[in-house]
Amino acid sequence: MGNVLSPQVQAQADEYQVKAAFIFNFAKFVEWPGDAFGDGGSLVVGVVGEDPFGGALDRLNGSVANGRRLRIKRLRFGDNLRDCHILFISKSEGKNLGKILDSIKGTSVLTIGEMPQFNQSGGMIRFVIHNSKVRFEINAAAAAQTRLRISSKLLALSKGAS
Amino acid sequence: MKSESDSLPKDTSVRAMFHLSILAITLASTAGLALAQAPDDLASKSLEDLMNIEVASVYSASKYSQKVTEAPSSVSIVTSEQIQRYGYRTLADILKSVRGFYVTNDRNYSYVGVRGFSRPGDYNTRVLLLVDGHRMNDNVYDNAPIGREFPVDVDLIERVEIVRGSSSSLYGTSAFMAVINVITKRGRDVGGVEVSAEGASAGTYNGRFSYGNKLGNDFEMLLSGSYYDSRGKREIYYQEFDTPATNNGIALDLDGEESKTFLANLSFRDFTLHGTYGSRQKAYPTASYGTVFNDPRARTSDRRGYLDLQYTHTFSNQLGLLARASYDSYRYDGAYVYDYSDNSTPLLAVGVDSSRGSWLSGELQLTKTVSRHRLTFGTEYRDNLKQNQGNYDLETLVVSLDDRRKSKNFGLFLQDEFVIRENLTLSAGVRYDHHTTYGGTTNPRVALIYHPAEKTTVKVLYGAAFRAPNNFELFYESGDAFNANPTLRPETIKTGELVFEKYLGDHVRVSASGFVYRIKGLISQQINPESDLITFGNVAGARSKGLEFEFDSRFGPGFEGNVSYTLQKTQDEATKETLTNSPRHLGKLNVIAPLFKRRVFAGFELQYTSQRRTLVGLDTPAFVLSNLTLFGPKLAKGLDASFGVYNLFNQKYGDPGGEEHRQNAIEQDGRTVRVKLTYHF
């Protein structure tokens, strides 16, 4: 097992490629209520604010998770965000975080972010880097206010759960 | 007199560079358009696997893994994939490709220059070379081996981390201009048996056999051996020796080289055992140190190896522990033929320089994060069991030097990475070193890392470092070439640097940095006016300042490009004259492009070095080197093939010679080719 102190390190990857792969996995381990999907039935992944993923999210466009086709959507503050299933809120939206979260209250949008105050402010999944590896923290209380069902596996792997 | 290479028409190289730049830019822009939709293999990984992937990071800047943008230094990384695709043959090849680095070769050893600094007679003592964190600089010459005497085959390198600036606050002596950490592969990276064979110009052959795997959950091993043999250039002409008595300046069959290297990496749970051994013989054609020209006995031999046992563990309270113990051995033998003939009796004698070094080292390091502080404490102890230098006559065995030494040193260091705000980090460290030969020294390093916006980094870096005089500089004496100087003191450096980095859009990174380095008590070769022999002194000081720019891009799957430029001025503090072997401009261009539906990768590089002052005050002309490698991974089942052309346009160029050379400049290789096949079972 690699250790952060060990000079001999693990294979490396781009941070946001790894985070994009996490988002793909979240789509598999979260259950949305049936009425959350429109006619096409696709699962909309929105990015609000500056996109840090490079092309990594776009490469997920069209791929299938739990029988639903992923569709990537770029959004700005002020756009209607309620049609997303997953919403990644970029660090660039720090000032607007409260308003963005307010605007999707009562929906089943899984919110993901990286800002330090993200989960305290009511976000659901926050990425953190620990020992150069990507980890995530789940705000179970925020998720419980929606009709989303987060699998126990995801909860078990989240930081602080073990 | 100007050397022959001085008369080269300069415009051919400039024109060649221009055409190649156009080619590279065309390749790069096509790459941008091509941006193919590669299957995303990361997305198919499980959550558990994803949680084990390290995101791009550097270890050597802080002695723990951190993101490059968070490191308290200016960092470059060369990966195993780049080594394959650019066809790098030695560590020297790798370093040449890095922003601001240049390499000088005297047809025996290679010497690395950093920030305009490469002193004649400096055996790479001002960079610290590590293999998996293990110090490679030996205890007699402090030499960082970067040619074939480096005991690790470049095929076994996972990546090379290059950390610029002073790092004595973490590493002690020699971490003066830069730290280079070579991280080797693990068993799973080879994943079976691998056999590699290559043939190259000048009767050069190289073979490697490796076995590596992860066996069960706890055990992993990699074993590898390589053999290299090169006849070298048949005839090398030096006009300085162009007399009938010295074969009209032609050194015949005096460029041969042979090396053997072995590597073992074994790990069991938290324990890792690393072992390397390398032995290398080289003939030298330059008749250095006033030896007899064109004598077939002129050769040197270096042998080095170590065993390093390491234990790393992270306790449940997140306390990280690293402990290591190691044993190193280094042996050098060099044959130098001198002419003692007088008018009546001819007499040639072979003097053998023979050095034996061995040392034990121990290291302990603890890391713990306490609220917003990441604290690292470490200690290091070295017992130099043997630091012997000798000289004897090969025939009579009369000993003219028998210098036997031992010494001990220890260091203690502390570093704190303090996250002041989410976008502002202060990294501060200090190390105390004590050495039985020259006493104590304390060296700090402070870095402020600021992210004013997403994907923008500003680093303000300051560091102090020292380089202890080595035993060769202190105690080596020979009636023909050297005077000892046991009064030498450590030389010191203070480095300041401002780094700006920004990611533009998805695939482009730009960086700019400005640096000022100031060296005091520089240990330098000089000619003792009384004896007319070479002696080392803490003479003068030097100052280097400069600007560096780099543009890095990954256009799409398989494509990448890098362009860098360094402008620097390195002067003697007293005379304000530019130092010898210090180019004012360095430019690099590196491009990898996939061809034929990604079946083959073309790796192309250009390296521009401006003119350099030589010891006699002449200049070696500027030159552009270009290398092209075609690499076909999995051309057939399990087979990788590589074809490389080095110095593609047969550019004629020379590197400045040292005090030991009569040559003003030492001419380097013209165009050479290499074919390499690697089969994976």
User: Which tens digits make up the pLDDT trace of B551-569?
Assistant: 988 776 678 899 999 999 9
Mean pLDDT, residues B135-161 taken together: 96
Question: Any idea which of A45-54, B10-19, B210-219, B510-519 has the lowest mean pLDDT?
Answer: B10-19
Q: CA-to-CA distance for B108 and B485, rounded, in angstroms?
A: 25
Cβ contact (<8 Å) for B52 and A24?
no
**pLDDT at position A10, please?**
41
Shortest distance between the Cα of A22 and any Cα of chain B, in A, equals 7
Question: Is the pLDDT assigned to residue B226 strictly greater than 90?
Answer: yes
Q: Which B residues, 351 through 380, put their C-beta within 8 Å of a C-beta on chain A?
A: 365, 367
* Tens digits of residue pLDDT in B446-464: 999 999 987 799 999 999 9
What residues in B contact A30, CB-CB < 8 Å? Answer: none
Nearest by CB to B57, from A3, A12, A17: name it: A12
- As a whole number of Å, the CA-based R_g of chain B is 25
Alpha-carbon span B602 to B658, nearest angstrom: 37
Interchain CB contact of B7 with A (< 8 Å) = no
Q: Degrees (nearest 5) of the Cα angle B675, B594, B188?
A: 70
pLDDT for the residue numbered B91? 98
Bridge partners of B584, per DSSP, are none
Distance from CA of B535 to the nearest CA of A (A): 38
**Residue B485: what pLDDT?**
92
Contacts of B35 in chain A (CB under 8 A): 55
> Is residue A8 scored above 50 in pLDDT?
no
* Yes or no: domain A15-32+40-157 corresponds to CATH 3.40.50: yes
Mean pLDDT, rounded, for B137-141: 96
Burial of B576 (0-12, 13-18, 19+ CB in 10 A): exposed
pLDDT category of residue B131 using cuts at 50, 70 and 90: very high
Q: What is the DSSP string of chain A?
A: ---TT-SSPPPEE-HHHHHHHHHHHHHHHEE--GGG--SS--EEEEEESS-TTTTTTGGGTT-EETTEEEEEEEE-TTS--TT-SEEEE-GGGGGGHHHHHHHTTTS-PEEEE--TTTTTTT-SEEEEEETTEEEEEE-HHHHHTSS-EE-HHHHHHSTTT-
Q: Best of B41, B42, B422 to disrupt the A interface by mutation (most A CBs within 10 Å)?
A: B42
| Nearest CA-CA partner of B111 in B141, B87, B140, B88 | B141
How far off is chain A from B320, nearest CA to CA, in Å?
7
Interatomic CA distance for residues B303 and B150, integer angstroms: 9
The CA distance from A95 to the nearest CA of chain B, in Å, is 14
- B124 CB-contact burial (10 Å; exposed 0-12 / middle 13-18 / buried 19+): buried
Q: Between residues B282 and B596, which one has the greater pLDDT?
A: B282
What's the 3-state SS for B372-411? CEEEEEEEEEEEEEEEEEEEEECCCCCEEEEECCCEEEEE
Name B483's bridge partners.
Answer: B535
> Which of A10, A125, A129, A132 to mutate against chain B (most B CBs within 10 Å)?
A132
Domain boundaries, chain A: 15-32+40-157
Report CB contact under 8 Å: B54, A54.
Answer: no
Of the two residues B351 and A116, the one the predictor is more confident about is B351
Reported as type and span, the H/E element at residue B164 is: strand B157-164
Residue B543 has a pLDDT of 94
Out of B35, B48, B422, closest to residue A116 by CB:
B422
Amino acid identity, position B351: G
Q: Does B311 touch chain A (CB under 8 A)?
A: no
Question: Chain B contact for A7, CB < 8 A?
Answer: yes
Across the interface, do B55 and A133 touch by the CB < 8 Å criterion?
yes
Residue A3 in contact with partner chain B when CB distance is under 8 A: yes
Residue A2 sits at the chain B interface (C-beta within 8 Å): yes
Give the pLDDT confidence score for residue B82 in this predicted structure: 92
Query: Is A8–B51 a contact, with Cβ atoms under 8 angstroms apart?
Result: no
**Residue B41 pLDDT:** 66
pLDDT in tens, B66-107: 878 888 888 999 989 899 999 999 999 999 999 999 999 999
Look over chain B and give the mean of its residue pLDDT values, rounded to a whole number.
89
Beta strands in B201-314 (DSSP E): 204-215, 219-230, 235-237, 250-252, 257-268, 271-283, 299-314
Residues of chain B with C-beta less than 8 angstroms from the C-beta of A154: 47
Contacts of B455 in chain A (CB under 8 A): 52
**Per-window interface: B 60-99 vs A, CB < 8 A:** 60, 63-67
pLDDT in tens, B13-41: 545 555 555 544 444 444 333 332 233 46
Minimum distance, in Å, between the CA of residue B148 and any CA atom of chain A: 23
For residue A95, the model assigns a pLDDT of 87
pLDDT at position B482 is 84
| CA–CA gap between residue B358 and residue A17 (Å, rounded) | 46
Residue in chain B nearest A49 by alpha carbon: B454
- Judge whether A63 is closer than 8 Å to chain B, CB to CB: yes
CB contact under 8 A, A132 and B48: no
For residue A62, is pLDDT > 90?
A: no
Q: Does B48 touch chain A (CB under 8 A)?
A: yes
Q: Which residues of B touch A92 (CB under 8 A)?
A: 454
Question: What pLDDT, on the 0 to 100 scale, is given for residue B149?
Answer: 96
Tokens matching residue B145: 């081996």
Q: What is the pLDDT of residue B532?
A: 85
**pLDDT value at position B19?**
54
Residue B41, exposed/middle/buried by CB under 10 A (0-12, 13-18, 19+)? exposed
Overall fold of domain B4-680: Maltoporin; Chain A (2.40.170)
Q: What would the two tokens of residue B561 be? A: 């490009």
Count Cα atoms within 13 angstroms, Cβ side, for A152: 0
Whether residue B512 lies within 8 A of chain A, CB to CB, comes out as no
Measured in degrees and rounded to the nearest 5, phi and psi for residue B335 equal -100, 125
Check whether B342 has a pLDDT greater than 60. Answer: yes
Q: Tell me: the pLDDT tens digits for B292-333?
A: 999 999 999 999 999 999 999 888 777 889 999 999 999 999
Testing the interface with A: which of B44, B45, B50, B375 to mutate, by most A Cβ within 10 A? B50
* Touching A: B residues 145-204, CB under 8 Å: 158-159, 181, 183-184, 186, 189
CA distance B217 to chain A (A): 9
Yes or no, beta carbons of B367 and A5 under 8 Å apart: yes
Q: Could you give the 3-state DSSP secondary structure of residue B615?
A: coil
- Asked if residue B341 lies in contact with residue B348, where contact means CB atoms within 8 angstroms, the answer is yes
Q: Does A134 touch chain B (CB under 8 A)?
A: yes
Residue entry with tokens 């007899």: B292
Domain regions of chain B by residue span:
4-680
Per-residue pLDDT, B556 = 65
The per-residue pLDDT for range A108-123, each reduced to its tens digit, is 999 999 988 899 899 9
Nearest in space to B605 (alpha carbons), one of B584, B624, B582, B632: B624
Residue B429 pairs in a beta bridge with: B415, B445
Interchain proximity B37–A59, CB inside 8 Å: yes
Question: Shortest CA distance to B467 belongs to which of B230, B205, B128, B130?
Answer: B128
Which residues 420-449 of B have a C-beta within 8 angstroms of A?
422
Span of B31-40, B41-50, B136-145, B173-182 with lowest mean pLDDT: B31-40
pLDDT at B599 over 90: no
Maximum Cα–Cα distance for chain A, whole Å?
A: 52
Instruction: Determine whether the interchain pair A8/B57 forms a contact, defined as Cβ–Cβ distance below 8 Å.
Output: no
Report pLDDT for B15.
53
Given an 8 Å threshold on Cβ–Cβ distance, is A21 in contact with B54? no
Q: Which residues of chain B does A129 touch, with a Cβ-Cβ cutoff of 8 Å?
A: 55, 67
Torsion of CA B65, B69, B74, B75, to 10 degrees: 50
Give B64's contacts in chain A (Cβ within 8 Å). 4-5
* d(C-alpha B380, C-alpha B360), whole Å: 11
DSSP conformational letter for B254: -
CB contact under 8 A, A63 and B506: no
B269, closest residue in chain A (CA to CA): A1
Distance CA B116, CA B609 (A): 11
Q: Nearest chain A residue to B374 by CA: give it.
A: A131
Nearest to B670 by CA among B652, B645, B644, B643: B652
pLDDT tens for residues B393-430?
999 999 999 999 999 999 999 999 998 988 899 999 99
